[in-house]
Amino acid sequence: LQTIVSRNISPNNATVISVGAIQGGSFNSVNVMPSEIRIGCITRSFTKLVRHIIERRIKELAHGLAQILGCTVQIEYNRLGTTLVNHDEETTRAVKAAESLVDKEHVNANATPFTSGEDFAYFLKKDLVIACIWVME
């Protein structure tokens, strides 16, 4: 899976593919090959294009491996997250408020984006609230 990132995505586009769960077989019969294995992954990126590439390449990789190994594969790919993009006016307001509390050199208004999941992104994307999120270190 990591070859999807290294061979298909620019190093300038932060991308994460993590395997969080693998299920198959039984510890009571470790000498028996399981008839089914399930793998659960999470992917994170900042752009729709990269998310599309990741999904397409995961499907191509899984189907290709299944064909080589003589088995079948079923893929359920759910796009659960969205990119959090702050509203400009509220971000400016938050920066000014922070600068009024601490010296300006301690306020970074152009912080590097990070790939944590945040439900707040849905509120901003749908304009349910006009706001911004900020991180204090």
Q: In the chain, where are the structural domains located?
A: 2-69, 82-137
Q: Is 35 buried (19+), middle (13-18) or exposed (0-12) by CB count in 10 A?
A: exposed
CATH topology of domain 2-69: Alpha-Beta Plaits (3.30.70)
Q: Is-contact 75 57, C-beta < 8 A?
A: no
Q: What is the pLDDT along the chain (137 residues), one digit of tens a residue?
A: 999 999 999 999 989 999 999 999 999 999 999 999 999 999 988 888 999 999 999 999 999 999 999 999 999 999 887 788 888 899 999 999 999 999 888 898 887 777 666 778 888 877 778 888 888 77
